[in-house]
Structures are given as C-alpha cells and as structure tokens.
Amino acid sequence: MSTYDFAVIGAGISGASVAFELQAEARVVLIEAESQPGYHSTGRSAALYTPNFGPPIVRRVNAVGRAFFEAPPDGFAEAPLLSPRGALTLFKSGNEGELAAFLTNGTERDPIHPIPVAEALRLAPLIRPEMVAAAAFEPGVTDMDVAAIHQGFLRGFRRRGGDIRRAQPVTALRRDGATWRVTAGGEEISVATVVNAAGAWGDAVARLAGARPVGLVPKRRTALVIDGPADLDLHGMPLVEFAGDAPYLKPDGGRVMASLADETPVEPQDIQPDDLDVATLVEWLETHTKTSVRKAPRTWAGLRSFVADANPVVGFDPELTGFFWLIGQGGYGIMMAPTLARIAAALATGGNVPADAAAAGVNAADLSPTRFRF
C-alpha cells in the first residue's frame, strides 16, 4: 500500500496550490476525480483579480496575494500572471446618487475614482451611451492567466516530487488507528492527514469521512462569449458593471465575455447553463450594449460554493482527527489560492497563519470549521 503524509482531494486551484505548498516539507498525493484537473470551477471562472470584492477576510487574503502573482517563484510561469484590465462601474440615470457611497469601496492601495461619462464611454465603446449617467473606474482590477497559475502549481508540485492521480475519484475514507485509508481508483492509500479541497463536493467528501458537513451551498453562475460589433476594437475595454444590476462583461480576446452573475443554489454536479438564464443575459446585453446576438453564443456555467458567512473554510475539523478543510472559496478562489494555500499548509503542519497574512488581519479563527460547531 502507498503511504504519504497528506492526501489532497481535488486538483482544482485549491488542491493544486495547497499540494504545492505542502510538498515543500512533506510527501503528498494529489487525487482528482476527473482526467482534467481544471474541469470544474477552476476552468470556468471570469479570470479576474478584483481586490475590492467580497467579504473583509477575502479582501485581506487578496491584498496579500497580489505579491505572489506579480513575482511568482522562479520557474513557476513563463509569462506574467496578471495583465491590466481595470473595472468600470456605470450608474444609470436615477442611480447617480449611489456613486459617492460606491467610491468608499476603494482603498488607498486600490482606489476607485469617479470619471466623466465621456471618458467611460471612450473606454467602453460597446456600451449604449443612454445607459450611463455617472461612472467610476478602479485601475487595480486585472485579468489573471488562470491556466498558467493552475499549471504553475501542478508543475511545481510534480517538480518537488509530488504524485498526482487523475481520473481517480475518492470513494471511501476510513480511519485506521492513527492513519486514514483513502480509497481512490480501486487502490487504498495510507495517509496521516486528508485535505478536503473538493470544491462543490466539500460536504460530500466530509460525509465520506464521517465529518459533519459545514453547510456548503454550490451556486450556479452562467457565462457566455459573443462577437462584438465588427467596427469596435474591444481589446482594451475594462470590466464593465452597472451599479444595482448584477450582470457584467469584459473583453475576451476580440470578443465579449459576459455573465449574468446569477447565484442559483444547486447540488454539486457537472453544471450546465440554463436556457432561460442564457436568454435573460442575451436580452440584457442587447439592452445595455451595441451587440446584437445573431448566432448562438458559446455558453457555460460554473459553481461558486459558499458557506453561510461567505468566508472560506480552512483548518482541521474539530471533531475528526487528521481531517483538514479547504473549501468555500465562493467567487474568489483563483485570486485567493496562493495565500490561502500558504495559510492552509502552515495550519495543516501545526504552524500559524503566515506573518504577512496575519499582519493583513487574517486569523485562523475566522477561517476555522470550528465556527460552525457552536
């Protein structure tokens, strides 16, 4: 029987990044149900680093993470992981009064400025001018190269000597004395610690181990890519959102990626877009932008999985020895991954939250699964 210190279940961005960190000091097996590790949420994101988005703890984690993306370890990636995008928030006639309050979302490090409507329309020529009465710009939002980040972690993990098992769903988890027996792909593996990085399946994996679930809710989000008008160059357009209106859009090469920003609770599954959601998004695009959708767009859906307080769940289970949680990354899991992985690896090896994250105000109690047990 193979033996390791850690079995990490799930090789999306969360599992890949924590396996990379743990393998620096320990022997790790990374186990993935699919043949493609990015097949679920990790391969279906909007690929944005948005530092002023999400609950306070998520923002603190992301403030720390920018340093990793700007200067990853040697050999991690061949090209920059972040590229400039910027985010434009537009206010319709009647909503201008919300601008001042919106600007307070900015920080000294990542400010949000009011900009003239004409400037906003120059930056985003796709938007119908009659839809815009006021505008704000956030330069600190960037695109992320998600595939390069994910591959960087997987490649780095392998270079450090880590083992990856693909297309091998974990089907049983059994405590045997001081170790765990993990059944995956018909094989039993013996490990001291199980790391649950199973994304939307986080509570399902917990049940396999006999741990109490933390109330994880996977939520469907719909996205599509369409052609923009042939006479507009959209490469430099920022991310565009409307205050008080959920959908958003951004360039995708010369095309337009848009999401309904829907949050429909569903069971964990290989989620597919709902026809009505796609139709609603197409109608929104035709009302707010100069696009007219003539041919069927490329569509997809992905899962963003949250617990009740929308903070990630990172830490040892308080009731089950050797069972470590790394789930609940919601809509922030790519940008949080480098920092959350370092925090998780430190806690899983008996250490404390790393100094840079602690200095930013991230503490173990806010992340711990213990918060659901009282």
Ligand X SMILES: Cc1cc2nc3c(=O)[nH]c(=O)nc-3n(C[C@H](O)[C@H](O)[C@H](O)COP(=O)(O)OP(=O)(O)OC[C@H]3O[C@@H](n4cnc5c(N)ncnc54)[C@H](O)[C@@H]3O)c2cc1C
Q: Which residues of this protein are in contact with ligand X, per CB under 6 A?
A: 9-15, 31-34, 37, 39-42, 44-48, 169-170, 197-201, 205, 221, 223, 259, 302-304, 329-335
Q: For residues 91 and 325, which CB has a smaller minimum distance to ligand X in the complex?
A: 325
Q: For residues 132 and 307, which CB has a smaller minimum distance to ligand X in the complex?
A: 307
Q: For residues 48 and 256, which CB has a smaller minimum distance to ligand X in the complex?
A: 48
Q: How far is the CB of 223 from ligand X (least distance, A)?
A: 5
Q: How far is the CB of 56 from ligand X (least distance, A)?
A: 16
Q: For residues 12 and 251, which CB has a smaller minimum distance to ligand X in the complex?
A: 12
Contact 46, 67 (CB under 8 A): no
Torsion of CA 14, 236, 68, 312, to 10 degrees: -30
Name residue, tokens 């100094």. Answer: 355
Q: How far is the CB of 131 from ligand X (least distance, A)?
A: 23
Q: How far is the CB of 327 from ligand X (least distance, A)?
A: 7
Q: How far is the CB of 38 from ligand X (least distance, A)?
A: 6
* Beta carbons within 8 Å of 15's beta carbon, 6+ residues apart: 8, 9, 30, 32, 37, 195, 197, 198, 326
Q: How far is the CB of 230 from ligand X (least distance, A)?
A: 27
Q: For residues 121 and 305, which CB has a smaller minimum distance to ligand X in the complex?
A: 305
Q: For residues 121 and 157, which CB has a smaller minimum distance to ligand X in the complex?
A: 157
Q: For residues 306 and 316, which CB has a smaller minimum distance to ligand X in the complex?
A: 306
Report the 3 state secondary structure along the chain.
Answer: CEEEEEEEECCCHHHHHHHHHHHCCCCEEEECCCCCCCCCHHHHCCCEECCCCCCHHHHHHHHHHHHHHHCCCCCCCCCCCEEECCEEEEECCCCHHHHHHHHCCCCCCCCCEEECHHHHHHHCCCECHHHCCEEEEECCCEEECHHHHHHHHHHHHHHCCCEEECCCCEEEEEEECCEEEEEECCEEEEEEEEEECCHHHHHHHHHHHCCCCCCCEEEEEEEEEECCCCCCCCCCCCEEEECCEEEEEEEECCEEEEECCCCEECCCCCCCCCHHHHHHHHHHHHHHECCCCCCCCEEEEEEEEECCCCCCEEEECCCCCCEEEEECCCCCHHHHHHHHHHHHHHHHCCCCCCHHHHHCCCCHHHHCHHHHCC
Q: How far is the CB of 225 from ligand X (least distance, A)?
A: 12
Q: For residues 12 and 132, which CB has a smaller minimum distance to ligand X in the complex?
A: 12
Q: For residues 112 and 134, which CB has a smaller minimum distance to ligand X in the complex?
A: 112
What is the edge-to-edge ordering of all strands in the sheet holding 82-84?
Answer: 48-49, 142-144, 82-84
Q: How far is the CB of 334 from ligand X (least distance, A)?
A: 3
Q: How far is the CB of 183 from ligand X (least distance, A)?
A: 10
